[in-house]
Structure 1
Amino acid sequence: ESCTYAEVVAAVDVNTLANDVYKHNFPTTPLWAKTIEGITLKEFDRLSFDMILMSPPCQPFTRIGLQGDVSDPRTKSFLYILDILPRLQKLPKYLLLENVKGFESSSARNKLLQTLATCGFKYQEFLLSPTCLGIPNSRLRYFLIAKLHQEPFYFQAPGQVSLFVLVVYVDEWRRRMIPTEKLNTVSFFQPGFEKSLPKGAFLFKLETVEEIERKHNQDNDTSIQMLKDFLEEENKEISQYFLPPKFLLRYAFLLDIVKPTCRRSTCFTKGYGHYVEGTGSVLQTAVDVQLESVFKHIDKLPEEEKLVKLSTLKLRYFTPREIANLHGFPSEFGFPEKVTVKQCYRLLGNSLNVRVVAKLISILLE
């Protein structure tokens, strides 16, 4: 994807299931099923690698994970890397790190920058979502790229703030930087659209006017592809992904519902398909049915009538293949037969966007 030839000298993970999927797709790549801190300095030196790509555990930097930061035991492997890096016989030329939004304000990030500076790396930080590349999925993540070479990157962040968002549209690579202090006012979906709601639009599904307007603007941003470009063809197997009646009745007002013609979807988490609220969008396959007409006064209906109305939408989960498509995985990427749908969702929920990483690698090597 990044148009770069490279030999992977070692892939390291302790997740048995993730390793099974990795072996299934990359059977000849050396795979080490061990913790990072279980690798000695001598073993690192023997690898003599030029680039290190890492995605440390994100839980210490999330609200749900209690933001334990460096005091969280799960940062042990990351801190071990920071300890090892300056002691390597040969420093890697390039480094790429991914984590959740929140990492940029952590003590772990400060320790990382100190280590990079000590080792002589030049670095650049990003907050990026796949929408920057025209992909209709919101997955905001922190990225850092660093290189040992003395020449600077071909771009510079404004002022002294190194953390910024690089906004990229699908038709061209636009170098437009947005400083950190403006992050709270920036939409990651649309470059300044100020369109009003269509005439007759009204509040439904417990959403505010602002939320409905935001979604409307996102769906009118032609720099983003439509979801239909990432969907599988309808077949018999798709029927297993339709939402069961009890879910429709219980969670209807919490669902983020999108159509194939939408240009947006929320972040898919590892709880997708099992939990409903905040785990990812669901697809309305009955494209001719108006969402507003279904939800209008639905709270006043008895359960049977409510279910009949909701069923007309034909709501289903995105399949693992469709989420993989949105994440930028190639069509030949697959899962071993023994991996269940629920396990696929968990792995994809912990994944990152291939195309975003590929773009960053290409920048790193320029």
Structure 2
Amino acid sequence: MGSPPPKLNVLELFCGIGGMHWALTESGVEFEVKAAVDINTVTNSIYRTNFPKLNLLQREIKSLTTEEFVKLQADVILMSPPCQPFTRVGLKKDIEDDRTNAFIATLRLIETCHRQAHVISYILVENVKGFEESSTRDVLIETLNKCDYVYQEFLLTPLQFSIPNSRLRYYCIAKHKSEGNNFIFAHQPEVMLGIPSAAQPTLLSKHSYIDIENLTSNLTGQEMTAALDSDERIAPLAQYLLPNSTDYILSSEAMEYYQGLDIRKPSSRNSCCFTKRYGRFHVGSGSCLSTGSHLEDGREEVRFFTPDEISNLMCFPQLKFPENISRRQRYSALGNSLNVYVVANLIRLMVSK
């Protein structure tokens, strides 16, 4: 990994169910989360179940003051702000969407700390594909430049790490110039579509890194699906599935959408991105799985992936849900989260010297 940093004090914003915290754990970097902040009561209850002793603040992120910020003595800010202003199924109001306010307020806070000589050494931002073309992204980059950071933007999918899920996401890693004027690879002004070869030795070995051509193509297209299913470098879905999931079989009413469903088999080596709408909207919210049986009309019997299976595909090592969290809430919380393994590798890449 190169030379690891000393123990890092981390502030986790828009913490959701704790994807960034799990990624820190998986990264092998020594850290302490000084505080995690989110306003969502459901995801906070999931976070608290998994990290009961952590300083979890249920409050508006934009209410954080400079004094509070400095008192936490954070070296690292990890954040996954709301994606709805940029998602393809949303209104794409971008910076005009009120849900960007907390993120913009955080950037202003970083700028204030910079003026007061309180240095945040590292910043990592995750969001949906499309963020890289937004005005909100422009404010992020303007802030990083103004506050003396070097940074690199990426579009990455778990498929590149041999994980059979096409959750293509935007990432930006930033390092203050007091920590060095570059990463362990040469900075590129454009968004990178892969991990540069010079940085690949830093990657974790649990999953092999692979190059995938036409990464940003329509991953649900038949040609791309066939190409991915024939790529034996990607693990089959069977490795992520659990037994006894008969209560997740689609109802006869749901099967009316059969022609529009993205149906995979345990041998498949890809699945569509699971969104917070999964389990309620049958088309465009994530893949379904063939049970291997057929209905009387000859169609395949299909079921939803369970929340635990989606958790496996997102590389949560042992995510626990409170018993009072419904199936719908579990799907929604996972749909708003991130792939732990991808972020763990970006954390390693960000802090390596």
**Aligned mates of 1:173, 1:154 — CA distance in 2:** 17
In structure 1, what is the equivalent of residue 157 of structure 2? 129
Q: Quick one: structure 1 residues 99 and 353, their matched pair in 2 at CA, closer, same or farther if it must change by over 3 Å?
A: same
Q: 2:239 aligned with 1:224, yes or no?
A: no
**Aligned mates of 1:28, 1:71 — CA distance in 2:** 37
**Aligned mates of 1:269, 1:222 — CA distance in 2:** 26
Contact in 2 for aligned 1:69/1:75 (Cα 8 Å): yes
Greater strand fraction, Structure 1 or Structure 2: 2
In structure 2, what is the equivalent of residue 241 of structure 1? 248
Q: 2:180 aligned with 1:150, yes or no?
A: yes
What is the letter of the counterpart of residue 166 of structure 1?
A: G
Q: How does 1:10-29 map to 2 (within 5 A)?
A: 10-29=35-54
User: Which of 313, 332, 348 matches 1:346?
Assistant: 332
What is the letter of the counterpart of residue 318 of structure 1?
A: F
**Aligned mates of 1:79, 1:99 — CA distance in 2:** 14
What is the letter of the counterpart of residue 352 of structure 1?
A: L
Contact in 1 for aligned 2:160/2:209 (Cα 8 Å): no
Runs of 4+ aligned residues of structure 1 deviating over 4 Å after TM superposition are: 167-174
User: Which of 167, 187, 193 matches 1:165?
Assistant: 193
Larger radius of gyration: 1
In structure 1, what is the equivalent of residue 20 of structure 2? none
Q: With CA pairs under 8 Å and 6+ residues apart, which has the higher RCO, 1 or 2?
A: 2
How much has 1:264 moved relative to structure 2? 0.5
In structure 2, what is the equivalent of residue 321 of structure 1? 308
| Residues 320-341 of structure 1, C-alpha deviations (whole Å, 9 max, x = no match) | 00000000000x3210111111
What is the letter of the counterpart of residue 180 of structure 2?
A: Q
- Structure 1 SS opposite 2:101: helix
**Aligned mates of 2:241, 2:342 — CA distance in 1:** 20
**Aligned mates of 2:96, 2:56 — CA distance in 1:** 29
- Structure 1 SS opposite 2:62: helix
Identity in percent:
43
Q: Quick one: structure 1 residues 230 and 172, their matched pair in 2 at CA, closer, same or farther if it must change by over 3 Å?
A: closer
**Aligned mates of 1:93, 1:214 — CA distance in 2:** 40
How much has 1:35 moved relative to structure 2? 0.8
- Structure 1 SS opposite 2:297: helix
Q: How does 1:174-253 map to 2 (within 5 A)?
A: 186-187=214-215, 211-232=221-242, 234-235=243-244, 238-248=245-255, 250-253=256-259
TM-score, normalised with respect to structure 2: 0.84
| Residues 149-208 of structure 1, C-alpha deviations (whole Å, 9 max, x = no match) | 2231121255xx33111158986557x7x9xxxxxx82369xxxxxxxxxxxxxxxxx9x
In structure 2, what is the equivalent of residue 282 of structure 1? 288
- Structure 1 SS opposite 2:292: coil
Q: Quick one: structure 1 residues 173 and 269, their matched pair in 2 at CA, closer, same or farther if it must change by over 3 Å?
A: closer
**Aligned mates of 1:347, 1:29 — CA distance in 2:** 19
How much has 1:309 moved relative to structure 2? 1.7
- Alpha-carbon RMSD: 2.2
In structure 2, what is the equivalent of residue 199 of structure 1? none
**Aligned mates of 2:150, 2:251 — CA distance in 1:** 52
In structure 1, what is the equivalent of residue 298 of structure 2? 309
Q: Quick one: structure 1 residues 242 and 94, their matched pair in 2 at CA, closer, same or farther if it must change by over 3 Å?
A: same
User: Which of 47, 72, 81 matches 1:56?
Assistant: 81
Contact in 2 for aligned 1:129/1:188 (Cα 8 Å): no
How much has 1:21 moved relative to structure 2? 0.3
TM-score, normalised with respect to structure 1: 0.81
| Residues 215-246 of structure 1, C-alpha deviations (whole Å, 9 max, x = no match) | 221101111100000001x22xx221001112
Unaligned 5+ segments in structure 1 are 179-184, 190-206, 290-305
